[in-house]
Amino acid sequence: MTAPSPRPRSARQSDVARIAGVSQSAVSRVISGDAARIPAETRRRIHDAIAELGYVPNPVARNLRGARTRLLGVHTFEPLFPNAREGFYVEFLLGIEQRAEETGHDLVLFSSTGDGAGGRRIYRDETNRLRIADGSVLLGVSPDRAELARLWHEGYPFIHIGRRDVPGAPIPCVIPDYSGAAAGIVERLHGLGHRRLAYLRDSIDVEPYEDRRAGYADAVTRLGVVDRSPGFVSGTAGVPDEVVSALADGTCTAAVAESERVAAELRARLTDRGVRIPEDVSVAVLEDTSAADVGWDDLRIPRQEIGRIAVERLIDMVSDPAAPRESTYVACEAMPGETVAGVREDRR
Amino acid sequence: MTAPSPRPRSARQSDVARIAGVSQSAVSRVISGDAARIPAETRRRIHDAIAELGYVPNPVARNLRGARTRLLGVHTFEPLFPNAREGFYVEFLLGIEQRAEETGHDLVLFSSTGDGAGGRRIYRDETNRLRIADGSVLLGVSPDRAELARLWHEGYPFIHIGRRDVPGAPIPCVIPDYSGAAAGIVERLHGLGHRRLAYLRDSIDVEPYEDRRAGYADAVTRLGVVDRSPGFVSGTAGVPDEVVSALADGTCTAAVAESERVAAELRARLTDRGVRIPEDVSVAVLEDTSAADVGWDDLRIPRQEIGRIAVERLIDMVSDPAAPRESTYVACEAMPGETVAGVREDRR
DNA sequence: CGTCGGTGCTCATACGAATGAGCACCGAAC
DNA sequence: GTTCGGTGCTCATTCGTATGAGCACCGACG
């Protein structure tokens, strides 16, 4: 038996109708359940004809009438599984897929680049590629905010995972609450007796880091803790010498690092000076370091849950275009590790 | 600024046409590049109107005319990332995504179950859900071969990852060459001096395991090696006592386990008897055990490459429906580990 | 016997874009 | 001055399905 080629044009409702001796609309009604006034006998004839022809509705044509496609888009601004961040997007996707499955949606992964260069774009030769889907989840760092603004103005339903600020276009996001998590970590250090902290910033200036800084700053002020970083909000990136010295001599008793990269650098510098973590100095990281598995006190981003929530919100937007489009915050758990301890007795 | 809601019905070509003072077809021609006979001035007017209205083509309508959607489907018969097989499908998807990106395709992940129960099905109330995509990659273990047969008879372009035999429907697959890999492992054992082997089968009876058994059986015969498993082809699943004894007393010097599960059981049983791997007995596994990371001599399934090849083949089928639809074999690398060694001197 | 209410459908059109055919006009060539 | 060829579009139709409106028929009721 050989493959049926050249593929015969698939049967359509009109073919079924001809065989069953009814009109195309009768077929349509029977198929789409609106068969209230079609008697069993006719229905049977139609079903027989369907079986005979192996008729299968064309979903594309169905959708044309303005019905929903029940497709949800997933647009990542970088390849879905960049090696550098293995497991990063995938975890969000896991939650997205779960919720999509539960709500009877399929997903469209927008993997095509657009035009070879310039990264993944939403608009390709003036057309919004996302439009096949009823709405889309966006994730990753967009290289081009104007695109997001345009998308928003178009009224297309979408939700962004992670905070993204675009002037003039308050795009709805699902946001890990880095600010609250940072505050929580400061509180924890405070509870352990730490009163003089240092903040280590990375050189990245995107929204999520701003959130961390804000949360840290608030908590420091609120608890009356002293921050000794060299002007952490506008300050230097990386691990300045002053901070290493301050931690070594007890001027500071704990450090809060924005990213694992900075934390690792700090650890190296402290080890050089013979300073131990956590015996001498406590270090917490404001990032999910579970992949590295080195025991940092850090925070956990509930990626799966965030994915689920994003789909949830997206479906709301799709089903009610007039619904409010606000951002949602999702709490991050502070994860105790092996790098935070009570303050050293002689340094209280 | 508030979200533009209720969303205005998006502009269409006829709206653009009205504003630009031309006909809808002129707009269509300009947009779809067939603008040979439209002068620059008119084109400009049309583009201005497009910009003014924020017009965006409706991909669904486009597709209706029979054009390609440039969507490729990915249908998994189980959720994409079942916890039990974490990283299993994902690796295929990685390759699929890469190739899709390179060829300018987007992916549709068919995640919706169909009707709540009964697993993921291709046909939902008599409609082939895959049809939105130009063609689809199927992966996982289908609960229902009749569905595959129907899909094939329909002439829908699809390719299955992993071998799947359906009577009357020679469905095209991309198949890890388990048979060759099993033979390779037997050859390797033979090269190390092993002459009396045992084969341990799992209780699963799907095609991939048949391939392993066939490859093993061929190699054993070809090399004149003795197989001491209790009738491995029709034989008992799991780890029979006879096999453990044969390995312990030197009747057999090496074991080939179909799955990691069986291998792990064997290891436990041998350890109980004080038999060491690989000093006393060599053990190889005919499965990719890289996830477990316990040093088995095993084989590696080039999942990413398989994904890429599947997309490649699928695109061929889509672009030429008359193309032959055969299966493709992909070689698996035998991966040396720490559980195979030369045969013990006194057991040659 | 006329009318009314149901039943069992059909008709016509919409959805949005693509496209073969063809019309109207213009300048040039014979 | 007629024909010819090219330009610049428009017209009409197609894709496959869904759906509001409505037609024809039948039995029942007044």
- The reported pTM is 0.81
**What are the residues with a C-beta under 7 Å from any atom of nucleic chain C?**
A 21-26, 29, 37-39, 41-42, 64-66; B 9-10, 12-14, 24-25, 28-29, 31-32, 34, 57-58, 61-62, 64-65, 67
pLDDT band at B118 (very low <50, low <70, confident <90, very high): low
Q: Is the dihedral of CA B301, B302, B307, B312 positive or negative?
A: negative
B13-57: CATH, from 3.40.50.2300, 1.10.240.10, 3.40.50.2000, 1.10.260.40 = 1.10.260.40
* Residue B18 and residue B3 in contact, taking contact as beta carbons nearer than 8 Å: no
Q: Which pLDDT belongs to residue B155?
A: 79
CATH fold match for the domains B71-176+302-334 and B178-299+335-347 = yes
Give the whole-angstrom CA distance, residue B170 versus residue A198. 67
To 10 degrees, what angle do helices A303-319 and A88-102 make?
50
- In whole angstroms, give the CA distance from residue B176 to residue B211: 10
What torsion, rounded to 10 degrees, do the Cα atoms B80, B83, B86, B90 define? 10
Residue with tokens 């704990």: A254
| Cβ–Cβ gap A64/B64 under 8 Å | yes
Taking the C-alpha atoms of residue B109 and residue B117, their distance in angstroms, rounded to an integer, is: 19
Q: What is the DSSP string of B77-133?
A: SS-SS-GGGTTHHHHHHHHHHHHHHHTT-EEEEE---SBSBSS--SEETTEEGGGGS
Distance CA B22, CA B105 (A): 33
Residue from A163, A123, A169 nearest A149 by CA: A169
In angstroms, the CA B21 to CA B15 distance is 10
Q: What is the pLDDT of residue B77?
A: 80
Contact A106 B110 (CB under 8 A): yes
**Chain A residue with minimum CA distance to B116:** A102
**Topology given in CATH for the domain delimited by A178-299+335-347:** Rossmann fold (3.40.50)
Question: How far apart (Å, rounded) are the C-alpha atoms in residues A181 and B55?
Answer: 42
- Spatial CA neighbour of A145 closest among A161, A176, A168: A168
Question: Mean pLDDT across chain B, nearest whole number?
Answer: 84
- Give pLDDT, residue A233: 54
Residue B160 tokens read as 């299955």
B126-143: average pLDDT: 80
pLDDT, tens digit (0-9, with 9 covering 90-100), for A7-18: 456 788 888 999
Which fold does the domain A71-176+302-334 belong to in CATH?
Rossmann fold (3.40.50)
Angstrom distance (rounded) from CA A304 to CA A228 = 36
- Greater confidence (B90 vs B278) lies with B278
Task: Tell me what percent of the residues of chain B surpass a pLDDT of 70.
Answer: 89
Q: What is the pLDDT of residue B2?
A: 40
Domain ranges of chain A: 13-57, 71-176+302-334, 178-299+335-347
Least confident of A85-89, A98-102, A146-150, A203-207: A85-89
pLDDT at residue B14 is higher than 70: yes
Measure CA to C1' and name the residue nearest C6. Answer: A37
Which of B90, B111, B127 is closest, CB to CB, to A106?
B111
In this prediction, residues A320-344 reach a mean pLDDT of 89
Ramachandran region, residue A206 (left: φ > 0; alpha: ψ -120 to 50; beta: rest)? beta
